[in-house]
Amino acid sequence: MPQEVKLPDLKNEALDQIPRAFAQGGLSASFAAAGAGVARTLATQRNMKIHWLAALMVTLVATALPFDLSIRVALIFSIALVLFAEILNTALEAFVDLHIKDYHRLAMLAKDAAAAGVLVLALGTVIVFTEMVYLQWQVVLDNQPAVWTTVTWGFPLVLSEWVGLFLVKRSPLAFGRFALSHVFLMLLIPISADPIFSALGFILVWVAFLARHIYPHSDMAELGES
């Protein structure tokens, strides 16, 4: 006869010693931990920084052009999915590194597969965005003043954020660069077609600044040594 599998006793007093959810600081602490996860990933992962800059560029396009609701929702979901995938990929890589100290083919497979998932999703997002712009090209042509204004101030804004994410950490220059990014965003408000995407632009800039200020490390190796 097969041996009966003994299930854990859910009334066991030992299990009662496990801390309840949100016991350490409550719900606010859980949101703080999640925010720290986003900031740490952005501060330490090169690909996350690239996705963040791409999200900012998409946001600028959606701010300038009067797309319909379906396109705006698709853009928001595309941004969120790519960032989510990169965060999940970072979590998996950290988990594998924690438990696998030496080279192992299965660890390599896990990391490569996770990175491939992010790549497929990112390429799909690029295709979706290209298709949207292609189908809405008349909207682009009808709003050329807004497009040129966005290019004029959006390019230096993205450049400023690139400097902040890849070069400048904690220094007086970081605060000056942060203020400059705000100036560019303010100059884009008059041509904004959507206040939600305008606010999203400010959020992306703020989160990038806080991430680099709180976690001024260049990679996960430095983070682990601190």
Burial class (CB within 10 angstroms; exposed 0-12, middle 13-18, buried 19+) of 100 = middle
Instruction: Go through the chain and tell me how many residues it has.
Output: 226
Choosing from 13, 86, 131, 225, which is the catalytic residue?
A: 86
Q: What stretches of the chain show up as alpha helix (H) in DSSP? A: 13-16, 26-44, 46-64, 69-99, 105-135, 137-142, 144-166, 172-188, 195-214, 220-225
For residue 52, CA distances in Å to 8, 15, 211 come to 45, 42, 12
d(CA 2, CA 194): 65
Closest to 212 in 3D by CA, of 74, 1, 48, 12? 48
Nearest CA-CA partner of 216 in 155, 173, 167, 143: 167
Integer Cα distance of 81 and 129 in angstroms: 14
CB atoms within 10 A of CB 155: 13
Helix, strand or coil, per DSSP, at residue 65: coil
Q: Which long-range contacts (CB under 8 A, 24 or more apart) does 16-19 make?
A: none
Can 222 be counted among the known catalytic residues?
no
Q: So which residues are the catalytic ones?
A: 86
